[in-house]
Structure 1
Amino acid sequence: MAGNTFGSIFKLTTFGESHGPALGGVVDGCPAGIILDEAAIQTELDKRRPGQGGLAVTARNEPDRIRLLSGVFEGRTTGTSIGFAIENTDQRSRDYGDIKDVFRPGHGDMTYEAKYGLRDYRGGGRSSGRETVSRVAGGAVAGAFLEPLGITVRAAAVELGGIAAESLDMGGAEHRQFFAADDNAVLRWQKLVKEVAAQGDTLGGIVEIRAQGVPAGLGEPVFDKLDARLAAALMSVGAVKGVEIGSGFAASRMRGSENNDAMLDTGFASNNAGGILAGISSGQEIVLRAAIKPIPSIALDQHTRDRFGAARTIRVGGRHDICAIPRVVPVLSAMVRLVLADMVLLQRRMGVGT
């Protein structure tokens, strides 16, 4: 299947399905000498596990222990391909036997069958959210490369189920349930999640990602604009249905005099551009927001059809999250790190900048 490699110089290729033996990947293009070990990557993977940063709303509990297979020697990258694997240990494929011929609404069942003529019905196979574990591992490698350059990426949930956080504390989000942007949101979100779970339904939300320390000059004119690459990276995550950069859709309701970021002798007066002008980083903080759709697996009756064209009614069983937040938060951070690492190396290849 094509489309399994992301990046132009700093590349991540991933493999694996939700109910296969393992998931994993290969990182190519990472320079030699970067400090890296399994523990550093495991720290990021642990943020994605059930119960990390939020309620344990799925019963599937994978340890997600990473095994580095190549590309690291005595705690440093060697400059060769970095291979890694993460075993699946808590599959229950029997949960999907009753719906192997039925298309679940909101899932990729119908489209995968239309494209390939067959599909792995066990948890969605390659289209499962479990696929993102490899992205987090690859993003951890990218983070190890970016950190010595002073580039950091943080993310926080700023809205869940239509309830918005009242303030933004990116530094504290990592230590809160749901990776919430403020303390006040946590109890309100907990209450909502419990109510919706009891109804058999699911929730969506909004995640904000911010990158600091990004130098001015990253990004390529026209088709490889930095914002275009970042939007594509976030949209490649299955739960994401929309991306904003800077003031985003609010810019459409502004006048030019409001939206333009004035440049003073002390720096920019505002950051409606989200740290990117004409597709190239301005040196300001990069600000992104991703709209997360509700989990499509719901314990309510839905109308659908089977692979033979017959009308069916389905109620999805198995073990599923109520919301992709908080587990999608480290995934989105990882995708931003992958883009920035790639853009830094592209700038170096051109012989300018960082």
Structure 2
Amino acid sequence: MSTFGSQFRVTTYGESHCASVGCIIDGCPPGLQLTAADIQVQLSRRRPGQSNLTTPRDEKDLVHIQSGIEHSVTLGTPIALLVKNEDQRPKDYTETDLYPRPSHADYTYLEKYGIKASSGGGRSSARETIGRVAAGAIAEKYLRQAHGVEIVAFVSSVGKVNIPSSVGGHAASHEDDDDVEDALTPEFRKLLSTVTRDVVDKQQTRCPHPETAERMVKRILRAKEAQDSIGGTVTCVIRNVPPGLGEPVFDKFEAKLAHAMLSIPATKAFEIGSGFRGTEVPGSKHNDKFVRRPDGRLGTTTNWSGGVQGGITNGEDIYFRVGFKSPATISQPQATAQYDGTEGSLAARGRHDPCVVPRAVPIVEAMASLVVMDMLVQQNGRTATASLLPPITTLPPTMVMPPKAKQIVAGGAPVDGEVAKNE
């Protein structure tokens, strides 16, 4: 349906060429200081028309708060957000009256509902993601203030142009050769731990590696000049996520994260931690060995698990990668068939991105924030409810967490050295 989340619930609405798009957010905690400017930052990063690498559709995507906030403070009631569609050109899509566009949702929507939007992609359009980004900005502000959570995504590949060090070592020369290097190189691990949105946004491709970013620009422009398109990948890191988030067995953290990412238009792949590279590394080299950190908590010497073990966050950085296919709408003629099966040729006239990954960065960040927020509210509800019970003194030590560790975990993720002070 059109709702994501169980405790922090987001329902989006709108089609690509209707009057407006937006969302309703239910479950936002009361007392969060929030203005339209907090939300607009991410919407402006997502909007079209930012450079010659994106669609020329000119939308300002200004957010209008309809409810749930008074005097710049959330009330705890549903928050409604609205963004007007201003630069609409429905007449650009008259060819879809006859042709289902190749690799688009025209045919499948018609088969499912028996009716479809007459212009653009309707609900399958990336315009729908405006509601997600707006809701994600709210979730992210809470996560940042309450737990110091940082979420940064960046473009890691366009076509065959890849940011270096995303995969370390070399392929094994023989099938029985277990001498495999680290799943991620030290350089890439450093990037994951230090990259910021300011650094990412310095490049119009949103790739934080300047030399690779320049090559990506050339690849996208080559696709654009050929009236074609190209795909790519977005890598995202989430820092300072409290341990203990995730709901076994079917709502594991990485399962919800995959659900969120693969619900974004044009996505075709998802991997977390070492991903497919981890299948090539023996367990003796892939296992994340535990160590005690200076703040008293357990940590790992490596993080091939990507911050999630057994479907539950372990307090390490969470990192994952999302694959986006080449945009389906291209302007060059394509041999295809009409709805009645008659063969013909279709050249789309609508405005489109030659590559979606630069604009997908804030969408990936938004969906990541919605997953963390929803699971954090679930976990806080569980721990708060359990805390009202009298302590149990009859359990063996192996069943309960040591008092010191319990105190540290209860305090949430460390922010600016607070854990050290609490000890």
Q: TM-score, normalised by structure 2?
A: 0.81
Aligned to 1:65: 62
Aligned to 1:342: 374
For residue 90 of structure 2, the aligned residue among 89, 93, 97 is 93
Residues 308-341 of structure 1: CA distance to partner in whole angstroms, max 9, x if unpaired? Answer: 2222221112211101121111001000000100
2:204 matches 1:177: yes
AA at the equivalent of 1:4: S
Distance 1:170 1:83 in 2: 32
Aligned to 1:20: 18
Q: Tell me if structure 1 keeps the 8 A contact 2:154–2:206.
A: yes
Q: Which runs of 5+ in 1 are unaligned?
A: none
Q: Tell me if structure 2 keeps the 8 A contact 1:55–1:190.
A: no
Residues 26-83 of structure 1: CA distance to partner in whole angstroms, max 9, x if unpaired? Answer: 000001001111011001100012354x644211010100000001111110000000
2:140 matches 1:143: yes
AA at the equivalent of 1:170: V
Q: Tell me if structure 2 keeps the 8 A contact 1:178–1:326.
A: yes
Q: Which runs of 5+ in 2 are unaligned?
A: 165-187, 294-298, 385-409, 413-423
Say which is worse superposed, 163-172 or 283-292, in terms of deviation. Answer: 163-172
Q: State the Cα RMSD in Å.
A: 1.3
Residues 161-187 of structure 1: CA distance to partner in whole angstroms, max 9, x if unpaired? Answer: 110113546211133212113111221
2:209 matches 1:209: no
2:341 matches 1:309: yes
2:365 matches 1:333: yes
SS at 2:31 equivalent: coil
Distance 2:201 2:302 in 1: 26
AA at the equivalent of 1:91: Q
Distance 1:301 1:278 in 2: 49
For 1:87-166, what aligned pairs fall within 5 Å after superposition? 87-148=84-145, 149-166=147-164
AA at the equivalent of 2:112: K
Distance 2:42 2:15 in 1: 20
AA at the equivalent of 1:287: Y
Say which is worse superposed, 170-179 or 230-239, in terms of deviation. Answer: 170-179
Q: Tell me if structure 1 keeps the 8 A contact 2:53–2:220.
A: no
For residue 316 of structure 2, the aligned residue among 264, 272, 284 is 284
Q: How many residues align?
A: 351
Say which is worse superposed, 264-273 or 131-140, in terms of deviation. Answer: 264-273
AA at the equivalent of 1:265: R
Q: TM-score, normalised by structure 1?
A: 0.96
Aligned to 2:402: none
Q: Tell me if structure 1 keeps the 8 A contact 2:139–2:373.
A: yes
Q: Tell me if structure 1 keeps the 8 A contact 2:306–2:320.
A: yes
Aligned to 1:250: 277
For 1:266-285, what aligned pairs fall within 5 Å after superposition? 266=293, 267-285=299-317
Distance 2:301 2:52 in 1: 39
Deviation at 1:347, TM superposition (A): 0.4
Deviation at 1:349, TM superposition (A): 1.1
SS at 1:351 equivalent: helix
Q: Tell me if structure 2 keeps the 8 A contact 1:55–1:178.
A: no
Aligned to 1:238: 265
Distance 1:296 1:268 in 2: 42
> Rg bigger for which structure?
2
Deviation at 1:282, TM superposition (A): 0.5
For residue 264 of structure 1, the aligned residue among 291, 294, 317 is 291
Distance 1:312 1:251 in 2: 45
Say which is worse superposed, 169-178 or 248-257, in terms of deviation. Answer: 169-178
Distance 2:200 2:68 in 1: 32
SS at 2:67 equivalent: coil
Deviation at 1:261, TM superposition (A): 0.8
Distance 1:136 1:37 in 2: 15
Residues 80-117 of structure 1: CA distance to partner in whole angstroms, max 9, x if unpaired? Answer: 00001000000001101123221111111111011001
AA at the equivalent of 1:40: D
Distance 1:343 1:137 in 2: 19
For residue 9 of structure 2, the aligned residue among 8, 11, 32 is 11
Residues 266-304 of structure 1: CA distance to partner in whole angstroms, max 9, x if unpaired? Answer: 431111000000000000000010001100111222232
Distance 2:279 2:25 in 1: 39
Distance 2:131 2:347 in 1: 29
Aligned to 2:47: 49
For residue 227 of structure 1, the aligned residue among 250, 254, 259 is 254
Deviation at 1:251, TM superposition (A): 1.1
SS at 1:194 equivalent: helix
Q: Tell me if structure 1 keeps the 8 A contact 2:65–2:80.
A: yes
